[in-house]
Amino acid sequence: MATRRQNVPRKRRDRVLGAIVFASIGLAATGATWRDTVVLPPFICRAEFSLGEQAWLKEELTRLWSDVRGTLALEPPRRTIDIYLFADVGTYRRYLNTWMPGVPYRRALFVDAGRGGQVFAYLNRELAVDLRHEVTHSLVHAELHNVPLWLDEGLAEYFEAPPPRRSWRHAHLAGINENLRQGLVPRLDALERLDELDEMGPAEYRDAWGWVHFLLHGPEPVQAELRHYIDSLRAGRTSPTLSERLATRLPDVEARFATYYRQWGERP
């Protein structure tokens, strides 16, 4: 959910977990007037404007759920994912200032309330990007436990792009390939050591996306390790880390990463 036009730093576009969910449980009942409500399982979308006039929203949410579910083999969430859409930035800011006064401003927000994920955003030119990013967080957290920050953000970066731009046309590709030309392969174990959103800058978002892209589209042994790791997260197990798994099965995984992107960059 970053508006590049507003120069909002990427690290300010993300999830809010844990301590700040204190007021979120009852947000739907107070503080805003929802003009329209649409149920699109697993989502309930409430808006201050007519959703009938924004038919693309329903299509985006339905397609995103299908894409994320199919890619990660997720089960339908047992918890409702509530999406709250404001008519403009003013009402959105006032709402957050009232109910989440300590939270830094983000153009869109995911809250893991423990009783169902919640996404907050407002109507703007980048709303489709915002929703794809934040709703991906909500879908991942609905089923997986203790998702590492790099994987959480890498998946959100991957799915925030429209489907035609998720692979070789993605904006992150140029930076990945430029680093590889300089002999620099992003270290997955370094990404795994990141625990706080403040540690995620543009380079970390790019590299997290790079590893997710490689894990989803790379050689079958790499894809298999990602599937096994996701199964472990689903069961609540975080050890061994994905970098440890890959190092055991594919000691040359960084060389494979570089080869993958060199070959990917040659695609038409």
Same domain, 164 and 135: no
Domain boundary among the residues 143, 165, 194 is at 143
Q: What is the DSSP letter of 183?
A: T
* Per-residue pLDDT, 78: 86
Same domain, 8 and 139: yes
Domain CATH for 14: 3.40.30
Cα 173 from Cα 5, distance rounded (Å): 20
HSE toward the beta carbon, residue 15, CA cutoff 13 A: 30
Domain boundary among the residues 88, 122, 143 is at 143
In whole angstroms, how far apart are CA 18 and each of 94, 150, 183? 22, 18, 39
For residue 184, which phi and psi values (nearest 5 degrees)?
-105, 115
**b (16+ CB within 10 A) / e for 224-234:** ebbeebbebbe
- Per DSSP, the residues of 93-108 read HHHHHHH-TTSPP-SS
* Overall domain count for the chain: 2
Domain boundary among the residues 143, 178, 207 is at 143
Same domain, 194 and 251: yes
* Per-residue pLDDT, 24: 46
Determine contact, residues 105/96, Cβ cutoff 8 Å. yes
* Per-residue pLDDT, 141: 93
* Per-residue pLDDT, 17: 47
Mean pLDDT (the chain) is 86
Q: Tell me if 150 is assigned to some domain.
A: no
Same domain, 176 and 216: yes
Q: Tell me if 125 is assigned to some domain.
A: yes
Q: Tell me if 110 is assigned to some domain.
A: yes
Q: Tell me if 135 is assigned to some domain.
A: yes
Same domain, 17 and 138: yes
* Per-residue pLDDT, 144: 93
Same domain, 132 and 174: no
Cα 123 from Cα 54, distance rounded (Å): 10
Could you tell me the residue range of the domain that residue 91 belongs to? 4-143
For residue 143, which phi and psi values (nearest 5 degrees)?
-120, -35
Rounded to a whole number of angstroms, the CA Rg of the chain reads: 19
Same domain, 128 and 235: no
pTM here?
A: 0.88
CA dihedral 15→3→60→154, nearest 10 degrees, is -50
Same domain, 21 and 107: yes
Q: Tell me if 149 is assigned to some domain.
A: no
Same domain, 116 and 162: no
Low-confidence spans in the chain with pLDDT less than 70: 1-31, 114-116, 265-268
* Per-residue pLDDT, 2: 34
Determine contact, residues 137/143, Cβ cutoff 8 Å. no
* Per-residue pLDDT, 1: 36
Q: Tell me if 202 is assigned to some domain.
A: yes
Same domain, 12 and 131: yes
Q: Tell me if 137 is assigned to some domain.
A: yes
Same domain, 124 and 167: no
Cα 179 from Cα 215, distance rounded (Å): 18
Same domain, 125 and 165: no
Cα 95 from Cα 32, distance rounded (Å): 7
Q: Tell me if 111 is assigned to some domain.
A: yes
* Per-residue pLDDT, 5: 25
Place of tokens 């609905």: 142
User: How many CB atoms are located within 10 Å of the residue 200 CB?
Assistant: 23
In whole angstroms, how far apart are CA 73 and each of 62, 118, 251, 267? 16, 22, 27, 27
Residue pLDDT, tens place only, 214-227: 999 999 999 999 99
